[in-house]
Structures are given as C-alpha cells and as structure tokens.
Structure 1
C-alpha cells in the first residue's frame, strides 16, 4: 500500500443527547493554521496544545481501513501500470455492508474508512463526470465505476454509510490521487508512453479536473465524513485546489501527516507493521515516535493488516496473523499512545470471510475481557500535588499483572516520566514498594504489562517523576489478564 502523505479527518461535535451533529453546523468556523502552544508557568517550556477534534480523534483508539475494490479480484495486492482489469471482474454478488459492520462491532472499531478509489482507477461510486479524450476531443463518461459493473445500480458507498450509522461507527473514504491505471496516471502525472490494453489518453489538465470533481462528489453526496485518506499524496498543481475544497466542504478536519494543511494534524508512525515506538509522543511532526519538545500537537496513527506479509486486499491463499501477534499489536499501538487502524478486507463475494470475522472477534473479545473492566480498590489516594496516585486493597489483596494510565491532555501532554510500584503480600517488609513498570510518554493511553508478571498485592502506586507542568491523570487502572 502506498504510504499516505496526509489523512483528513472531519470530527463531529456532540449534541446534548451525546450523538454527533452534522458537519454543516461547523462550516462557518475558520480554517486555522496549526501549531498552538502555551508557556508552562512552572518550567517556562513550550507545551503544544491539542484541538478538541484531536482529542476526540485520539480517544477512538480502534478503527478499520476497508480494502475492497477492483484489486480484490486480482492476484496482486493492487493494480500496476501493466494491466487495466476488465470491469466485469467486479462482481460481489453477495455484497452486504451490514456483514462488514457486524465484524467491526465484534472487533470494537469506532471508525471505518472505505477505499473509494484505489490505483486501478475503479471508482466505487456512481459518477456523472464527463471529460475529453486526447487528442480527439471526444467527450466520454467516467465509465470505470461500479455503475458499469455486474452490480450496477447499487451505491456501495451509501450502503456502507448507512450500515455504519446504524451502529454509530464513524465513516470516511480513502482516495488515491497519484495513481490511476485506467487513465495512464503514475506518480500523479499522465504518462507519455504507449497505452496498455484498456487504457485511455487524456491531458494532465483533464486528469486534475477529474480528481477535483470526484473529490467534490465524495465529500458532498455522502454527508459528513470523519476521515478522508489521500494515499501517496498529490501533485503541486492540485495542492491549493484540494486545500480550498477541504476548507469549503470539510473545514473541521484532521490531516494525516498534514501539518500546514489543517489546524488538526496527525502523523503516520513510520511502519505498517502495527508497532509504535516507546516512547511515542502526541507531539512532533516526524513519522516516528514524535518529539516531546515540539510545539506542534500531532498524534499518531498505526495502520496495519490482518493478513500476513503486509497484504491489504483479500488474497486467495493469504494467511492471517495469529491472535497472539494481534494482541501484541494492540499493546504496541493503542497501549503506546497510537490509534490502531486494522485492515478489513471482504472477499470476492462482498462478505467478510468467516475465518477473518472470527479473528477480528477474537481480538475484540480479548480487549473487552482484559480491559473492559478494572480491579477496583477499596480506597484511592492522591498525594503531593497530584504527582502520586495510590490504590489500596486492604480488605482483600488482589492478583494483578498490568496497569493502564491515561493522561488528561486538554492543556497539552506534560508528563515526561513515571513509575508504577506495588506492595507485595507475604514479603518481609509489607511497607516496601517494588517497581513493576516505568516509562516516559503516557498521552491518550499507556498500557504496561508488568515486568515482574503476576503479583499478589495490597497496594499499587503511580508516581509522576517528571513533568513540565502540573500533571493531570485522566485514569489509572489495574487489571488481571494473563
């Protein structure tokens, strides 16, 4: 999969009843530049400030990236410039987006992004766009779409939106600008080469116009989108028109790797393996673990596959990553302050294969069973100006093997180091504290599976050992999952 230059996310605000409003209520708001920060009153350092949209985005934690398009019907994991697949191949005769969404629910996904157009050029939506061929000037329709396939008459994107809305799952579309095999486009440019079978010839100006018309249709016809992916970036000639289009249609947006594009930037973590560095900061604009000293709040997202060998589209003989590996992925993404976007890939019938659905549910079941509830203490104490948090289990010692910390980042990510210590039952000195975890970045969530393993304890203590301003802990819980 081509790596994303930026992802744009439109985030809703909450209604009084807790549900999400439509983006039209926010269209009057300004398209601001990113990079707001404050000066710490205690240390004098700059602290990057998040937008409300960034905090909401981080809190989702789990999402899916749905790879279902013409490439589903090929042996390769996507189109190349050597072949234009015949449109008759696209025939999901059992298509059911409710089936997709049930799998998302079983996994625990809070948002879903569907591939609207991938490298082949095949558009998953009906289109009324017309354009001239070169050099003849003949006007033709953009007829490499679902409406010219064996399942014509079905609006897959609308079905997807409706199915997700019924389960309150946020939605978005993936669209690649830089590749369109049908139109002989590579790296964003119409190629000056002999056409392959099935390709047609157009000018660069015509291609740019097609892109902008398709984006306008995708961003208006289907209402308020939470996420818009651009895979592979865009050409310089399209940059300003795309920014203007975003400002007009989706002004409250998060841009993935988009510092300077949106007031709500987010960044790629630098790998598609589902592993975030530790530490992973909510600040900084590089494609890695971020930078605690950056004045730019730019949280990270980790995209990865369910299938082995980095395969995104369904494959005939593809194998699945084990549950054990996916649990590790969860801990090394969500548990390291990174959103996990897991690939969801229907097969050629248009359904999620049963074995795939089971694996998604197995992972969701683990997350719910392990982290859905915590072991509640008999008493909680906060000491030393919010730097020490103690949970007591006086009446009944408990067996614990991990802890989860969430920092309140409303005024920025300020914690720079912490330790987790426990008082172990049946030791010589019951007042002695033993360190079971320590780290630096917390952010939205930090999960520590304890170095000492299972422990029978009567107290646990979180100590913030370094911060650039007064820390605020949103949540500190302990769990038994082994």
Structure 2
C-alpha cells in the first residue's frame, strides 16, 4: 500500500470504555434468574433463617428442564440464588450445615449448583451465582470479622468448585431491623477477581455491572452506561434515580442491569401467575431497548421444575421478539450521511449501519464537524411500513449520543436522548408509512458513532388510540 493509499484511522475513543467482559455481557441482552430455596416451600419472599432444612425436598428437580427453558427463551447466562437472606445453602458448604446436607432431597447428598452447572455446560449456557450478604441464620452475622471471614470462605467455595462463573450477584437488600453489619466489599471484590478475572461483579455500585434502581425492569428514558462509582454505595436507597439514568460525565463504565420477575414475587407461589406477553414486551422495550441487559427471574416450583405456564409464556415472549426483530426492513434502503470520516473509501461510511456487526463497524462523521450530524435511509421503491426504530452505538469507543431526533418524510416522530448499545423506539403514532427516514444527532460527546440501524414491524404494539386519533392517523 502506497502512502497515498493509507487507510483512514479510527476516531479516538471517548472515555470511559467497557471491558471485554462487559461488552460480552451487554451483547447477551436477556439473561435469567432462578430464585430457589426454602422460601419456595414456605410461600414466602424473605425467610426468617429459622426454617428447618427438612422442608427442602424438590423431588422432581430437573436442572436440564431449567436450562432448556432458558435456551428456548434465547438466554445464554443463568444466575442461581446459591444462598438467599435466610442463609440456606443450595450446595454442601463446608462452613455451615444449614444447607442441602440436612434436607431429605437426595438423602442429603444433593447439590443444586452442581446440577445446574452440569446441565448448562453441554448446552453452551454460562452460569452466575447470587450469594446474599445478609444472612438471617448464621450466628456470626453482626460480628464483623468472623462473618466477613465466613462470607469470603463461601465465596471461595463457589468460585473454586464449579468452574467458570460469569457473574456474581451481591444483593444490597436487608431488613430495616437487621443487625448492623459492616461488609468488607473491597476484600470480597478483590478475592472474586483474583479467583476469576473475567467475571462480572454485580451490585448497587458495580464494579462491573450496576443495579438499575428498581425491580420493575424499567431503565430511565435517559440511560448512560457511565456513572461516578465514587457516588454509589451498596444498599443506599437515596441514589435510585442516579442509578436509573447514569451520568453523562461519569468516570466509570458501569452498565445497568434490569432485574424483574416473570411473576409478582421472586420465589414461586402457587397463587401467582406469569406476566402477560404485553407486560413482558413492555419490560423488554424499557430495558434492552434502553441500553440495559434484562435479568428475568423465572422461579422453579416446589417440585423443582419451571412451571409449564411460565415455560409457555417464555416461548411466546421469544417468538414475539423474533417476529419483531428478525427482519430489518431497512436492509435494502439507499443510505447517505451528513459527512463521512475519510470520505467514501475511508471505511466509515453509512452503509456500515446495515451490516451484521453491531460493535466494530460504524458510521463516523468528520472530526471537528460541529454541524448537523445526520444519517438518512431512503426506500428504493414504494414506502416502508414500520412502527419500531432501532439505533445502536459503537460503544466499544464510548457512549456518546446525548440527544437525537427521528424524522419520517420530514415529520418528526421521535425526540430522544441517549442511545448506548441499543435504543428501541416504538412509535407513539403507531404504524408509519414513509420513504425517507432521517436520524439527526442533536448533541453528543465527540462525534457520534452509529453501528446499526433497524426498522421493524411490531404486530403486538397497539398505541393509545386516542393519541393516534388526535394526530389524524
């Protein structure tokens, strides 16, 4: 290659940036929680710690069914409550007998975590674990040094015994009357990373994944992966709004995870039913569609199986997602942009937003161009019919877009803020028919880098008819 033919260099990243493990986590989009334990058998959410382990007897437990359910839902990571607040351990811990060893299940020889790992590994599904800091059973709780040593010992068991663990979940919840206790989070996190360097640590404050600030599965309409970790504290209820939106000036890359249950409760209850498909899609658009990963809890029942009504609802959910997003109506559009870094042959043209790489190929405008950044899709023949617009940023080089607008045939149909890994806009006007779609970036941190654009049709989306009537649609 001669000097005259040298390739155009990529733009400089805008800090902070995601790690490799954070990027892989973000691409999962949908992951699954299994809340399971003595609460399953006592019809409760928070156990007292005084439960008799003899009540734990899931005679039909089949982790293969759990994992098959996850795979059919399009899930590649499942997280199990190894120990919830009641202190009962789903594995035979060396450091307490308040566990499966004192239950009748498999004559005290069982290990739920091992069952899950053995089911997940051959199916290519990764495993994560939840270990509650609040322990209502263990007498060491409330005594800082002994309890922290106990907790660290259990962490080491989990991270040494069961192979690769992709996410470890630290829950900040505890009762208002709980014994005062100082958790040595810094020591815990250091131990986790020492044992498994590629793991993602979840807590209210990260350090790899943060809580979204609610258990409804909804992120803020503005949602930054960046935040100031120094402003966060595990269990601090006053920062929920900050967790929900993040911070455009944040110094740390701490993407949010939206946790919500398919039922009203986190544990299985006979009296409860799964959410409707409409509710699940609403959650999806407001979590995955707002730059988050959705952690959907699906609790096994007292038999040790995922209830069939939950299995069926998950199949409907997956089918609906595939129906909406498997086809990109924009794929044959003509495309142009306000400017192109390096010109038409520079490798950063607008055509990149229609390929299958949603991270490392992207449209990049010219550096220093403070003008109106836009990218335009034009139908070759008759107009398109769609009601969802998907936009994705090249977040490997930082989250950038602060404000954007979408126009169809010159009419503004969306006025939005952040984009991040994925932004899904369901059009409030309902189905739109048009020939020209233009996305304008009104404000960004540096030049915007858009990796993917999609136009989709959602047959399940029925906006408020009063709105569409007012608009004359």
Runs of at least 5 residues in structure 1 that lack an aligned partner in the other structure: 1-39, 130-141, 191-203, 424-432
SS at match of 2:194: helix
Aligned to 1:312: 266
* CA distance in 2 between partners of 1:257 and 1:338 (Å): 15
Task: Confirm or deny that 1:207 pairs with 2:147.
Answer: yes
* CA distance in 2 between partners of 1:238 and 1:281 (Å): 28
Please say which of residues 219-228 and 71-80 is displaced more in the overlay.
Answer: 71-80
- Determine which of 30, 34, 37 is the counterpart of 1:66: 34
Instruction: Please list the CA deviations of residues 250-279 of structure 1 after superposition, one character each: whole Å capped at 9, or x if unmatched.
Output: 2234333475x74xx322111101111111
How much does 1:298 deviate? 1.5
Aligned to 1:170: 126
Task: Confirm or deny that 1:189 pairs with 2:175.
Answer: no
Is the CA contact 1:378–1:395 (under 8 Å) kept in the aligned structure 2? Answer: no
Instruction: Please list the CA deviations of residues 324-374 of structure 1 after superposition, one character each: whole Å capped at 9, or x if unmatched.
Output: 111101111111111110111000000011111111221111111111221
Please say which of residues 387-396 and 286-295 is displaced more in the overlay.
Answer: 387-396
Task: Decide whether aligned partners of structure 1 residues 441 and 121 sit closer, same or farther in structure 2, where only a CA change above 3 A counts.
Answer: same
SS at match of 2:439: strand
Is the CA contact 1:275–1:329 (under 8 Å) kept in the aligned structure 2? Answer: yes
Task: Decide whether aligned partners of structure 1 residues 353 and 413 sit closer, same or farther in structure 2, where only a CA change above 3 A counts.
Answer: same
Aligned to 2:422: 445
* CA distance in 2 between partners of 1:417 and 1:240 (Å): 36
How much does 1:377 deviate? 4.1
Runs of at least 5 residues in structure 2 that lack an aligned partner in the other structure: 1-10, 174-179, 229-241, 340-364, 366-372, 460-473
How much does 1:287 deviate? 1.7
Aligned to 2:406: 420
Q: Number of paired residues? A: 396
Task: Decide whether aligned partners of structure 1 residues 320 and 331 sit closer, same or farther in structure 2, where only a CA change above 3 A counts.
Answer: same
- 4+ residue stretches of structure 1 with deviation over 6 A? none
Task: Decide whether aligned partners of structure 1 residues 63 and 41 sit closer, same or farther in structure 2, where only a CA change above 3 A counts.
Answer: closer
Normalised by the length of structure 2, the TM-score is 0.79
Task: Confirm or deny that 1:120 pairs with 2:97.
Answer: no
Aligned to 1:250: 196
* Residue correspondence of structure 1 range 14-413 to structure 2 within 5 A: 47-80=15-48, 84-129=50-95, 142-151=96-105, 152-181=108-137, 183-184=138-139, 188-189=141-142, 205-232=145-172, 235-236=181-182, 238-257=184-203, 262=207, 265-285=208-228, 286-308=242-264, 311-385=265-339, 386=365, 387-413=373-399
SS at match of 2:170: strand
Higher relative contact order (CA 8 A, sep 6+): 1
Instruction: Please list the CA deviations of residues 136-161 of structure 1 after superposition, one character each: whole Å capped at 9, or x if unmatched.
Output: xxxxxx22221221123232212211
CA-based RMSD of the aligned residues comes to 2.2
Between Structure 1 and Structure 2, the one with more helix by share is 2
Please say which of residues 433-442 and 381-390 is displaced more in the overlay.
Answer: 381-390
* CA distance in 2 between partners of 1:461 and 1:237 (Å): 51
Is the CA contact 1:378–1:391 (under 8 Å) kept in the aligned structure 2? Answer: no
Aligned to 1:134: none
Normalised by the length of structure 1, the TM-score is 0.77
